[in-house]
Amino acid sequence: MTMTLPDSQEIIDDLAFFDDWEQRYQYIIDLGKSIPGLSDEAKTPDKLVKGCQSSVWLDSRIENGLVKFDVDSDAVIVQGLLALVMAAFNNKTPRQILDFDIDWYFAELDLERHISPTRGNGLRAIVSKIKALAKQSIN
């Protein structure tokens, strides 16, 4: 399954066009709809990300030196947040993943002021798991 998402800078630019957060949420939800998701058989306990309020599954593999992710969530807004994270990390080398300034990216999106603290914690848990996977593939 392949995801077709804009890159992180395009998302920052796109979100800047919207006047209010209602429109931005809709854009983020629409981004999430472009993620193919996982089959029920692929939603195994070992792929579940701990620390998320909603159920989030993350699977990864390396192809031609690039880390590829398959993700899914049972919540539409979380699926959209996953799309934001995938725009930053999917189809990148492990080094690019580790070097990407996710705090800067989230600040540019002005995201954490507009999602609940538990969603913010879940987002951090997803990023931590992705960075840990990237670190493992370098070692």
83 contacts 69 by C-beta, under 8 angstroms: no
Q: Is position 52 annotated as part of the catalytic site? A: yes
Choosing from 52, 81, 126, 127, the catalytic residue is 52
- Per-residue model confidence (pLDDT) at position 104: 95
Domain layout of the chain by residue ranges? 8-138
pTM of the model: 0.92
The CATH class of 8-138 is: alpha beta
Burial 65-97 (b: 16+ CB within 10 A, else e): eebbbbbbbebebbbbbbbbbbbbbbbbbbeeb
- Per-residue model confidence (pLDDT) at position 28: 95
DSSP 112: T
Q: Split the chain (139 residues) into runs of 10 and give each run's mean pLDDT.
A: 80 92 94 92 94 90 94 94 96 97 94 87 94 89
Q: What residues are paired with 69 via a beta bridge? A: 60
- Per-residue model confidence (pLDDT) at position 19: 87
